[in-house]
Amino acid sequence: MPITAEFEYVRPKDMEEALHVFSLYKEKARALAGGTDLVVHLKEGLVRPEVVVDVKSLPELGGLSLSARTLRIGALATFTDIIESAQVKERFPVLWEAALTVASAGVRNRATVAGNICSAVPSADSAPALALYEAEVLVRSLKGERRIPLADWFTGPKRTALQPEELLTAIELPVPVLKHGGSYMKLSRYEGEDLAQGGIAALVLSDTTYRVAACALGPVPGRCPKTEAVLNGSKLGPKVLEKAKEALLGELSPISDIRSSKEYRLHMAQVMLERALQAAVSRLFGKGPKYGAGSIC
């Protein structure tokens, strides 16, 4: 199917030129990285930009880099880059596990983590893991740089805090200081290529604090602070699990759609919470399933 909409294509020679284009065209400009969402949206007429800015020419957006304190995921880093990184697997295993569940190999080769959170669909697989690891989103415009905590990034379904003249340059995650175990549970209709009907990520740290985050179970993906408050300081057992599940229900607001009903999503969210927490705790102690075996169907 050809794209019927007409637009100009720009490959900026440097960051300044790119930011000038975004400053000039604002919402009429669209950044192109992997294109796995943008090209579909162009074909379907969901976006009608005047100019498409191919940011793959900007070296400062590339790559993954890990320092002692921070993992920097450049805006051009693909899900395949995440999966192939031994450092991500070792230090941020829940992000690694979530990356494995995204679409298919051929899509992951082009789709970027940055694009995933810019598309900001409620089912974004990378979002719960990024929320657990307390990611910050770095954006730039001609006016300068802003750091946006992931908690403030998603402002609604397919909406973010990114302003029209801004470009996402990187996502930064602080390296967890404490030893931790985690898990991403994704509910899908079949193994392989599917969007999440619901997703729960959990992290337990060696000081018995817990982090829980969800996707596809409300208008925006994100942390579940009430559930975390119930869990914090407790050893995982049947009583605290029941209380945590109850708290979780109060924090979710899923919809009924073609993939599942609201009631099914709420029921399965509790199942996923229990399994994610159990896997996280066993992994903290070096047991449990290997990372990458998280998805349930």
Partner 1 sequence: MKSHDIKFELNGEAVAVTVDPNDVLLDVLRGRLGIKSPKVGCDRGDCGTCTVLMNGRTVRSCLALAVEADGAQIVTLEGANNRKWTQKLQKKFHERNAFQCGFCAPGVILSATELLEKNPAASEHDIKEAIAGNLCRCTGYEPIVRAIAETAKGR
Which residues would be at the binding site for partner 1 (CB under 8 A)? 1-9, 32, 35-36, 39-40, 42-44, 52, 54, 56, 80, 103-107, 109-110, 191-193
What Å distances lie between residue 265 and 10, 120, 157, 191, CA to CA?
42, 19, 17, 17
CA pair distance 119, 106, nearest whole angstrom: 19
Mention every residue, 6+ apart, whose C-beta is less than 8 A from residue 250. Answer: 226
Of 130, 137, 141, nearest to 163 by C-alpha is: 141
Q: Which helix (H) or strand (E) holds 231?
A: helix 225-231
Question: What's the distance, Cα to Cα, between the start and end of the chain in Å?
Answer: 32
Question: Do the Cβ atoms of 72 and 170 come closer than 8 Å?
Answer: yes
Nearer to partner 1, 105 or 178 (CB): 105
The pair of structure tokens assigned to 7 is: 């637009």
Question: Do the Cβ atoms of 178 and 187 come closer than 8 Å?
Answer: no
Nearer to partner 1, 54 or 134 (CB): 54
User: What one-character DSSP code corresponds to residue 296?
Assistant: B
CA pair distance 50, 47, nearest whole angstrom: 10
Strands 8-10 and 51-54: parallel
The pair of structure tokens assigned to 168 is: 């996402």
User: What one-character DSSP code corresponds to residue 125?
Assistant: T
Q: What crossing angle do the helices spanning 262-284 and 238-251 adopt, rounded to 10°?
A: 140
Nearer to partner 1, 32 or 248 (CB): 32
Looking up tokens 């073609």 gives 258
In this structure, the number of other CB atoms found within 10 A of the CB of residue 267 comes to 14
Question: Do the Cβ atoms of 34 and 2 come closer than 8 Å?
Answer: no
